Structure 1
Amino acid sequence: MCNPLLSSPYYVRVAAILLVFLFVNSPICPAGFTCQDNERQALFQFKIGLKDPGNRLSSWDVTTDCCLWKGVSCDNRTGHVIGLDLHNDHNEHQHRYQEQSVSDDRWALGGELSPCLLAIEHLTTLDLSGNYFGNMLIPHFLGSFKQLATLRLSRAGFGGRIPHQLGNLLSLHQLDLSNNGHSLLLDDCWWLSNLTSLQHLDLSFVNFGIAANWLEALNALHSILEIRLSQCGLLNGIPSSFQHLNLTSLVTLDLSDNYSNSTLPTWLFDLKSLQNLFLRGNYFYGSIPASIGNMSSLTVLELSDRFSLRGSIPGALGNLCKLQQLDLTWSPLRQNLSDMKEIFSGCVKNSLTKLSLRGASLSGYLPEWIGDFQNLKILDLSMNSLSGKLPSSLGRLLSLQQLSLYGNELNGDVPETIGWLSELVILKLGLNSFKGGLSENFFANLTKLKNLGLSSTSLALNVRPDWKPLFRLEYINMSSCILGPQFPSWIKTQESLSSLHMYDVNISDSIPDWFWNFSSSLEFIDLSHNGIRGMLPDLSELSDSKLTYVDLSCNLLEGTVPQFPRSISYLFLSNNSFSGLIPPGIHKTMPKLQYLFLSKNNLSGSIPLFPCNLEELIALDLSDNHLSGELPDCWKGSSNLQDLDFSQNEISGQIPISISHLTSLEHLILRGNRLSGGLPSSLDSCRAMVLLDLSYNQLSGEITWMDRSFSNLKFLNLRANMFSGNLPPLSQLNSLRILDLSRNNFSGNIPKSYGNLRAMSYSLNHVPSETASYSHVAMNLEIKGLYIQFSNVLNLVAAIDLSKNHLLGPIPEELTDLYGLRFLNLSGNNLTGHIPDKINLLKVLEALDLSSNNLSGAIPPSFGQLNFLSYMNLSYNNLSGRIPISGQLSTFDSTIYVGNQGLCGIPLHECQDKVSIKDEAHLTSPEIWLHLSAELVMFMLLL
């Protein structure tokens, strides 16, 4: 029953007074719709100019109240639009629409930014970050928003010059123009000095071009708290000194990756309020000054560099009681870690949560005091020269989440105390010399472990076959450990695993059926260099698989070539015993293939046409099989193919003309087949070609066109074919480092222009940096009488082999201009004339073969200056005179001079003084003998 007091006139009057009070003090809402009509119209016009492929602004069409539109915010009192947040968070959209296979671009707004937006005069926030506006200029009209406090245009695809009109935004607190891909240009910084209300500035990846006054301009921003200028290409680098610094409120400064190449700036250590300092990648030289101890507010110091900073860490750093993160990665400190106790015994010992000295040229052993960092969460001492055993004190780092010690010279057993680190998420001990094994007890407390790296340690995993570890790993690298011979069944419990590296782990078992779908996250598998046997199942029906990389090479697998899920991009099955035909429909079952390696198997039959239909294919290796028939003649100009290796098969026919459509082709290897016909001149369309190996075929005809193309060609091998005519003109091939035209029918003289092969004039220590490593391709050369395969060091080889042709004339003296030449073979021709006297200019020459020619004259004494010469053959020529005995020539035996009747001296017979027949007849005359007898009598009388 209701209380009668509540209905009395007194309470009615009180309620009325309260209603009036609430009405007077409530926000006054404008009549009609919440948002202003002119602002709604302006937003409609703005939307018309935009491209919205993901239909993110669909709510703008549902209601006329623009304050309810997605990304629009209004003032509660006035109804004016004050915020426009249209940033693109792809991760958010990906989660919400997981059933759709969306790409980054789908959700990115684009198009034009209409100046009708100026009608929204009360705008305080504009965020267009994460979209893509196609390198569009930042509109000048954005500088007209008088009340704008936040402007974010990061990762939005803007380009061109940043308009100076942005300097009119006097109310701006935050400006973020970062990560627009260096296409955004800042040509002057003075307009920044007008933004006196600015607190947060991020211009990372903005190209500062000729803007040399950046520090002076920023020094005018008295309220600035955060400055980020990472990878800006700061003109003249970062100033080493600066007077009258006003940045007294600065909390965060990021000047990383500007490649300053100067001394460490002294003005940085006057920033007493600075908490976060990022200076990585600036090639600072000199040492870290002791004045760093004055930065008492510092919590994060990232000074990671590479091969420039010198000297030890100053002891004053140990007094930074608030320092939480210290990163000196790749700073060549060249200190003994044991000697750094004094530094890390200060209060910094209690504050540090991250210590990274990776690649800092540290030596010595890991001391016991390393366990005193009670709050340490990340310890990275990898890639140094630390030796000795691991201290048991590591087990005291109970807060540790990451322990990285890989790439040192540590040895002994892994202490059981590391297993006490129950917070550990990342454990990397690989590339050391540990011995012994790890038991189940070692891992019992490591329940949070996600990343386990033990590769190249020879450690054994001593666990039961039915072991079920409590951790759930996402990354495993145990390559070159001892896990076999059985396939480790505990892997089945790792349902979150995405990357598995277990090559060379002594597995001689078959792969169990459960392996291929035990984890829905699995993307990377490397089980190569084991003894895995058996056949693989058809995996093409694993529709939900994320598998992109599989390496099963160098095993004992057999059967037909297996099919993998549609997601696969990298498939390496070389060095097995697969047999039968190559499936012709690979382009349908595995359409995303980029790398397919099936070399050194027992495959037969013809090559299917699938390579021509794999649009993403980059590298295909079918070498060392029993493939026959002709090469595919279906290549398209749209192909991305870069590497093609069909060598060591039984392929016949001619080189198809359509290969010339492969304009991205860099490596074409057809060595050791039965190809015939000529070398098609249409190949000059393959201007990206770096390596061309057609050796050991039956190709014929003349080559006259190669000089006008192949400007990128570095390695050319046409050995053991039937090419004829003059040697091909090659003088314009300025990148050529290996030339093998041996065992053909070439005739005529060696062109003097071969001395212009510029890349062969580089010495071993001055090979151009663009000459990359070629670990996935190889070339076979006859060097020092042996057949040698070069792969990883292919870029360091400079060689010419013109042997066993029908070449005439002298050795061009111009060849001695190839100062970087390491191997030269001109044997088995009909060369005449003398050996060039300037042969000593080939200072790095290691092997020289001039045998079986018609060379004459003396061996030049300059041979003695060839200090690297370890192989030489001058046999079967017409050389004469005394053999020089200086330098390397004194180390060779007589076999290299066989067949030169006129040579004498060590190591052949002693040289005898000879006279001509005419002189010999003159000596036998009576008059001469009488004269000599008279002189002899006089000589005896004098005695």
Structure 2
Amino acid sequence: MEKNAPLSFKEGLTDPAGRLSSWVGEDCCSWIGVGCDNTTSHVVELDLRNRFQISKHSYKHSYENMQKYNMSCLGGKLSPSLLNLKYLSYLDLSQNNFEGINIPNFMGSLENLNYLNLSFSLFTGVIPPHLGNLSKLQYLSLTSKSFPFSEYPPVRRLEVKSLEWLVGLPTLKYLDMSFVNIGEVKPDWLQAVNMLPSLLELDLSGCRLVTLPQSISSINFTFLTVLDISRNMFNTSIPIWLSNLTGLSTLNIGINSLRGAIPNVFANLVSLQELDLSYNFIEGQLPVGLGHLTNLSSLDLSKNSVTGKIPFSFGKLCNLQTFALAYNGISGEITEFVDGLSQCFNSKLEWLLLESNGLLGGKLPYSLGALKTLKTLRLVYNSFWGSIPDSIGNMSSLQELSLSENMFNGTISKSVGKLSMLTVLALSDNHWKGVLTEAHFQNLTRLSCLYLSVASATWSLVLDVKRDWVPPFNLSVAQFDSMLIGPNFPAWIQTQTKLLFLRLRNVGISDTIPQGFWNSFSRIGDISLSRNKIRGQVPHFQSYHLLRYLDLSFNNFDGQVPLFPSKMMEFVFLRENMFSGTMPENIGEILPLVSYLDLSSNFINGTIPPSIGMLKTLQILDL
């Protein structure tokens, strides 16, 4: 009976979570993970993939999660009893923990397999060439990534001595050998892969590849739609043979060491949908031909050395959803490009990421307002100037508007206040002029991060709102620098109960801090009120358990040195005030983690308390 084969296989496994506890009784087709043919009742499937769900927000630093994952893993030895399952076509052992054992040779004798997945299960050693006997195989995943937890001790990765066995897999459509060491394979990997005429998707990322052949006599894998050869060590230009992959929809050769310009051969990849050449050393200008790839939905050339202007032809990429040219040497303006996209009948652009191109600038084109699907506009660290056009208010989907670190010297349009989806508004370090009123913020109910500052000390930008104004937003980050907000302390700040970061630096406040001010923010970690003329005593702090940075320097505070609110404090700046009296005797107890303590230029007297010697993390002390 076929049930004896999976039972024998189970005997060699460790199963701390009891995942195979249902494997009892006569009807093996009812066992979890076992699949049978509906007509013949033969066992055709063993799906033993570990389906433990790991939170993407917490797993990296959770020892508890790692322990739970280990408990859910199958391990042990793989019994050749599987050979008795003559009709087995599907075998999935992925996401388990086989603790560095080799892939057994008998896997190559499961002649009816069309699906084999051994990924993420900590197999090591040489991949057996016997897998080349699986002539019916369509899906093969052998990725050698070690573990979903970064803290897990690394194990030796899988490797291959030769790829000649791939010739025995004529029906293979999907091949994932990412992070398998194939860097020293001869003949080269391309010749081996070229023997797979049915291949649709190929992932050889992180395989220590050093050669990217520039030519090949003829290409057999003409149906290829996805090619990922990122995270390798190529040191060549982009080869011509890629231009013959006319069915390619996704190409990822990012994070390599490719050198040379982007060739116009990509213009022949008419079906290409995603092109990612980021994190390389690509030089030269953007080929005009890239603008002819009208099916492109994502174009990422970030972190290269691309120069020149954005070609006018790029304005014809009406299907583009992501356009990323960040951290390059692009120059000129974006007017023609944006004007072109604005003429698209149904523009789909969501991400426009052009930051850190120091020579890219000019005025923001009025046609930006036509990009109504745009969610992120990131132009920081460039050379844009002028004003924000009124049309910006038409960008109804915009969630992030980042224009910091430019040369803007005009006004901020009131139409910004129409951007009801906006969560990040970053306009700092420019030369803004004019007055901001409640109208600039009237519909910004989702705003979470607000960065406003002027790159000079002239106070050319003024925030003029009513004293009883209650903003429509509740910020987590509020940064105002070198613009006029005072002379009164802004009462609306106390309505921002979610603040994590507050900076009111050089904003012309000559008022006192209102009583109860500190009670508004229970989660704040960073407060700076420096370079104002704030006077009076610092109100008593409540216990701020998360506060690590406090800067009250260059003001007119007087009275005793304020009691510090948090034992988490690392940076304390109180210089250039009129604090008097003695230092707190227990300073070594209330600031156990402080690394920078500046009490200079005050009227503090008396003796230095001995407890200051308890400050073991102190790096800078200025008295």
Q: In which range does the TM-score fall when normalised by the shorter chain?
A: 0.7 to 0.9
Which residue does 1:537 correspond to in 2?
541
Give the Å deviation of 1:45: 3.8
Which residue does 1:389 correspond to in 2?
387
Matched, 1:604 2:608: yes
SS where residue 490 of structure 1 aligns? helix
Matched, 1:448 2:446: yes
- In structure 2, which of residues 510, 513, 537 is the aligned counterpart of residue 510 of structure 1? 513
- In structure 2, which of residues 45, 48, 70 is the aligned counterpart of residue 109 of structure 1? 70
Give the Å deviation of 1:433: 1.1
Say whether the 8 Å CA contact 2:252–2:275 is kept in structure 1. yes
Measured in 1, the distance between the counterparts of 2:517 and 2:63 equals: 30
Give the Å deviation of 1:346: 5.4
Q: Which runs of 5+ in 2 are unaligned?
A: 207-229
Give the Å deviation of 1:472: 3.6
Give the Å deviation of 1:337: 3.1
Give the Å deviation of 1:517: 6.5
- In structure 2, which of residues 470, 475, 493 is the aligned counterpart of residue 468 of structure 1? 470
One-letter amino acid of the counterpart of residue 234, structure 1: N
Residues 584/462 of structure 1: CA separation in 2 closer, same or farther (3 Å cut): same
SS where residue 583 of structure 2 aligns? strand
- In structure 1, which of residues 88, 91, 96 is the aligned counterpart of residue 55 of structure 2? 91
Does 551-560 or 263-272 show the bigger shift? 551-560
- In structure 2, which of residues 581, 584, 587 is the aligned counterpart of residue 580 of structure 1? 584
- In structure 1, which of residues 126, 131, 135 is the aligned counterpart of residue 92 of structure 2? 126
- In structure 2, which of residues 396, 401, 404 is the aligned counterpart of residue 403 of structure 1? 401
Measured in 2, the distance between the counterparts of 1:79 and 1:93 equals: 42
Which residue does 1:562 correspond to in 2?
564
Which residue does 1:315 correspond to in 2?
312
Measured in 1, the distance between the counterparts of 2:561 and 2:174 equals: 63
Which residue does 2:334 correspond to in 1?
337
Which residue does 1:42 correspond to in 2?
9
Give the Å deviation of 1:124: 3.1
One-letter amino acid of the counterpart of residue 90, structure 2: T
Say whether the 8 Å CA contact 2:124–2:159 is kept in structure 1. no
One-letter amino acid of the counterpart of residue 232, structure 2: L
Which residue does 1:359 correspond to in 2?
356
Measured in 1, the distance between the counterparts of 2:67 and 2:145 equals: 19
Measured in 1, the distance between the counterparts of 2:76 and 2:410 equals: 69
Matched, 1:375 2:373: yes
1:215-226 aligned at under 5 Å gives the runs 215-226=190-201
Which residue does 1:175 correspond to in 2?
141
Larger radius of gyration: 1
Residues 63/36 of structure 1: CA separation in 2 closer, same or farther (3 Å cut): closer
Deviations 1:839-882 (A, max 9, x none): xxxxxxxxxxxxxxxxxxxxxxxxxxxxxxxxxxxxxxxxxxxx
Which residue does 1:82 correspond to in 2?
46
Give the Å deviation of 1:194: 5.8
Which residue does 1:806 correspond to in 2?
none
Measured in 2, the distance between the counterparts of 1:158 and 1:586 equals: 51
Give the Å deviation of 1:297: 2.1
Counting matched residue pairs gives 555
Measured in 2, the distance between the counterparts of 1:395 and 1:433 equals: 21
Does 368-377 or 57-66 show the bigger shift? 57-66
Deviations 1:404-434 (A, max 9, x none): 2111101222101121222223222122111
Say whether the 8 Å CA contact 1:572–1:597 is kept in structure 2. yes
Percent identity between the two aligned chains = 27
One-letter amino acid of the counterpart of residue 116, structure 1: L
Which residue does 1:23 correspond to in 2?
none
Give the Å deviation of 1:389: 1.7
1:6-45 aligned at under 5 Å gives the runs 36=3, 38-40=5-7, 42-43=9-10, 45=12
Residues 538/429 of structure 1: CA separation in 2 closer, same or farther (3 Å cut): closer
One-letter amino acid of the counterpart of residue 316, structure 2: N
1:102-251 aligned at under 5 Å gives the runs 103-109=64-70, 113-116=75-78, 119=81, 122=88, 124=90, 126=92, 128-129=94-95, 136=100, 139-140=103-104, 144=108, 147=113, 149=115, 151=117, 153-154=119-120, 171-173=137-139, 175=141, 177=143, 180=146, 184=157, 199=173, 209-210=183-184, 213-227=188-202, 232-237=230-235, 239-243=237-241, 247-251=245-249
Say whether the 8 Å CA contact 2:243–2:266 is kept in structure 1. no
Does 411-420 or 345-354 show the bigger shift? 345-354
Residues 461/103 of structure 1: CA separation in 2 closer, same or farther (3 Å cut): farther
Say whether the 8 Å CA contact 2:115–2:138 is kept in structure 1. yes
TM-score norm. by structure 2 comes to: 0.74
Residues 582/125 of structure 1: CA separation in 2 closer, same or farther (3 Å cut): farther
Deviations 1:113-147 (A, max 9, x none): 43326545647353644x8888x476456954663
Residues 272/471 of structure 1: CA separation in 2 closer, same or farther (3 Å cut): same
Say whether the 8 Å CA contact 2:496–2:520 is kept in structure 1. no
Measured in 1, the distance between the counterparts of 2:303 and 2:351 equals: 17
Which residue does 2:528 correspond to in 1?
527
Give the Å deviation of 1:176: 6.7
Measured in 1, the distance between the counterparts of 2:79 and 2:57 equals: 26
Residues 206/364 of structure 1: CA separation in 2 closer, same or farther (3 Å cut): farther
Say whether the 8 Å CA contact 1:358–1:380 is kept in structure 2. yes
Measured in 2, the distance between the counterparts of 1:269 and 1:114 equals: 51
One-letter amino acid of the counterpart of residue 610, structure 2: S
Residues 47/514 of structure 1: CA separation in 2 closer, same or farther (3 Å cut): farther
Deviations 1:511-565 (A, max 9, x none): 764646745xx3642425255651553627x5xxxx3743436365853652526
Say whether the 8 Å CA contact 2:231–2:253 is kept in structure 1. no
- In structure 2, which of residues 492, 495, 503 is the aligned counterpart of residue 490 of structure 1? 492
Residues 59/179 of structure 1: CA separation in 2 closer, same or farther (3 Å cut): closer
Residues 397/126 of structure 1: CA separation in 2 closer, same or farther (3 Å cut): same
SS where residue 393 of structure 1 aligns? helix
Measured in 2, the distance between the counterparts of 1:511 and 1:132 equals: 59
Which residue does 2:222 correspond to in 1?
none
SS where residue 623 of structure 1 aligns? strand
Measured in 2, the distance between the counterparts of 1:194 and 1:460 equals: 73
Which residue does 1:13 correspond to in 2?
none
Give the Å deviation of 1:229: 5.5
TM-score norm. by structure 1 comes to: 0.51
Q: Which runs of 5+ in 1 are unaligned?
A: 1-29, 613-618, 626-943
One-letter amino acid of the counterpart of residue 599, structure 2: K
| Structure ranking higher in helix proportion | 1
Measured in 1, the distance between the counterparts of 2:408 and 2:272 equals: 38
Give the Å deviation of 1:384: 0.9
Measured in 2, the distance between the counterparts of 1:208 and 1:477 equals: 50
Residues 409/561 of structure 1: CA separation in 2 closer, same or farther (3 Å cut): same
One-letter amino acid of the counterpart of residue 115, structure 2: A
Residues 63/83 of structure 1: CA separation in 2 closer, same or farther (3 Å cut): closer
Which residue does 1:797 correspond to in 2?
none
Deviations 1:730-784 (A, max 9, x none): xxxxxxxxxxxxxxxxxxxxxxxxxxxxxxxxxxxxxxxxxxxxxxxxxxxxxxx
SS where residue 403 of structure 1 aligns? strand
One-letter amino acid of the counterpart of residue 337, structure 1: I
Which residue does 2:322 correspond to in 1?
325
Say whether the 8 Å CA contact 2:127–2:159 is kept in structure 1. yes
Measured in 1, the distance between the counterparts of 2:512 and 2:42 equals: 72
Which residue does 2:270 correspond to in 1?
272
Say whether the 8 Å CA contact 2:400–2:424 is kept in structure 1. yes
Say whether the 8 Å CA contact 1:485–1:506 is kept in structure 2. yes
Residues 338/298 of structure 1: CA separation in 2 closer, same or farther (3 Å cut): closer
Measured in 2, the distance between the counterparts of 1:372 and 1:43 equals: 62
SS where residue 281 of structure 1 aligns? coil
Residues 527/83 of structure 1: CA separation in 2 closer, same or farther (3 Å cut): same
Say whether the 8 Å CA contact 1:455–1:478 is kept in structure 2. yes
SS where residue 549 of structure 2 aligns? strand
